Amino acid sequence: MKHSVIALLAAVAIGVPTAMLGQQPALPTVPQSISLRDAVELAVRYNPAHRQAANDHGPAAWGVRNAFASFLPYFQLGGGAGYTGAGSQNLFGGFTVDQASGSIGSSYSLTMSMNLNGRTIMQPGLAMAQLRAADASIESSEINLESIVRQQYLAVLRAQAQSEASQVQVTRNEEFLRLAQARYEVGQNTMLDVRQAEVTLGQARVALLQAEQLVTVEKLRLFQQMGVPAPGDPSTIVLSDTFPIVDPSWSLTELLSSADETNPDLNALRARQGAANASERAVRSDWLPSFSLSAGWSGYTQQFTNPDPFIDSQVASAYANNAANVETCNFRNDIISGLSLSYTPLDCSGITFTSADEAQLRARLTEQQTAFPFNFTRQPFSARLGVSFPIFTQFSRPLANAQASAAADDAREAVRARELDVRTAVTQAYYGMLAAHQAIEIQEQNQFAAAEGLRLATERYRVGSGTFFELLDAQLASQNADRDYINAIYTYHQSIATLESAVGRPLR
């Protein structure tokens, strides 16, 4: 039974670490059409920073198991082997022991121990609070990562919209160049207008290249946030989601109330506060007494590397003991027979040590020299129960208590500071979102007015009533209005994303 238990404990000791080895997940093949949900799911699975945060769950969960396992006994299996050479061993007091042959030996021990104190009792609550804090931090990391991916997704869409606007400008300037060349051919303008149209077209093409490069850069950043390598040609990846403009219908009061419950960073700090409070209670438990229980089983083997000198000495000792016993028996008969005539002498002939006895002794001693390494001689079972109560610990307990109390106070103040930050962030994002929504309407009107001005300037130049520089001014105004309108739209979408990040949940 004992050997079965030992084998089971050894298997557990070897198997548990092996089961805990994690495997690096294979990176996926990214589809050519990516929705925002696809991007968020990929980021949650493969973003390195989030995976580092998610790794905190495993140790925290094992911490809970370890805390509850502290109420169970601790088993330890040990063993060893040794060698002692021939010669004289010097003992305490000047005594020596001669050993004619070297010896080898082995031993095993199975010990069971258990400690129970205030920390042991409080540890499960502390470990569970730390697990909640770790899970809250993981949730915070996931929600913040989703916000970052959403912002970057919008950045790619903004860059694509600006690239499309730049393409429109190139097409428009190509038309202006053709118009300037046609007017020059009929003598209605000078070569200066043609050259200026060529320069403007070249500038528009450069702006288009820069806009297309920005789209590539923003896509690369999106893949970086998702935690997967970008394809060799990022232009093959299409973002499938669009974001319609909706009128804001959220109440600031409701948003503030929701943020107080769902903001991930705030909830993570509250969980850490709970862990700090549990740690403070655990430190205070150091004032309680400690109980300990231990028990053990052990055994040993020992044999000589050359048993012949030992066996010969034991046989010689047996012959000497037999001769001494015979001499003692005869001496007793002589003494007592001189004192009493009625004494019946002892039969000393029965005290013998024959060659058969010698052979039997040699066989037994030889058999004993085959104990190494597993034919153990068991030692008696031992057990111990103890209790201790520290009286003076050089103020280490008051110091630990003060440090834990300070950490708990710091955690409470951190929560209060974050509550103020969240309230400010939500309010600021809310009013920023309202302003961004109003700016869309204004920029839309500006875009319409600039487009109408460009149309009029184009017609005036076409019929010879306006100059080419007037046309360029109108075109620049229309180009800026288009860019401002695109920026207004995506500023509004990103302001909603910022508000969602501050609140801690999606709003649409």
480 close to 474: Cβ distance less than 8 angstroms: no
The answer to whether residues 483 and 424 touch, using CB atoms and an 8 Å cutoff, is no
Cβ neighbors of 438 (< 8 A, separation 6 or more) are none
Q: What is the pLDDT of residue 355?
A: 84
pLDDT tens across 83-124, in order? 888 877 776 666 676 777 788 889 999 999 988 888 888 888
User: Can you tell me which residue has the tokens 């219908």?
Assistant: 249
Q: Is 450 in contact with 481 (CB distance < 8 Å)?
A: yes
Contact 156, 215 (CB under 8 A): yes
Tokens of 286: 């150091």
What is the reported pLDDT for 112?
A: 92
Comparing 78-92, 160-174, 222-236, the range with the smallest average pLDDT is: 78-92
The C-alpha atoms of residue 147 and residue 203 are separated, in whole angstroms, by 36
467 vs 253, higher pLDDT:
253
> Does residue 15 surpass a pLDDT of 60?
no
Find all residues with CB under 8 Å of 37, minimum gap 6, and list them: none
- Is the link from the previous residue into 373 a cis peptide, with omega within 30 of 0? yes
Work out the angle between the directed axes of helices 264-284 and 396-463 (0-180°, nearest 10): 170
Are residues 232 and 219 in contact, defined by beta-carbon separation less than 8 angstroms? no
pLDDT digits (tens, 9 = 90+) for 21-37: 345 566 667 778 899 99
Going through 30-179 in order, the beta strands assigned E by DSSP cover 33-34, 74-84, 87-90, 96-99, 103-116
Distances 116 to 59, 77, 113, 274, 282 between C-alpha atoms, Å:
23, 21, 10, 24, 13
Q: Among 227, 257, 152, which residue's Cα sits nearest to residue 505?
A: 257
Whether residue 104 contacts residue 83, with contact meaning beta carbons closer than 8 Å, is answered with: yes
Residue with tokens 């010990």: 111
pLDDT, tens digit (0-9, with 9 covering 90-100), for 133-170: 999 999 989 989 999 999 999 999 999 999 999 999 99
pLDDT at 162: 93
Identity of the residue numbered 312? D
pLDDT, tens only, 367-414:
877 888 888 888 899 999 999 888 888 888 889 889 989 999 999 999
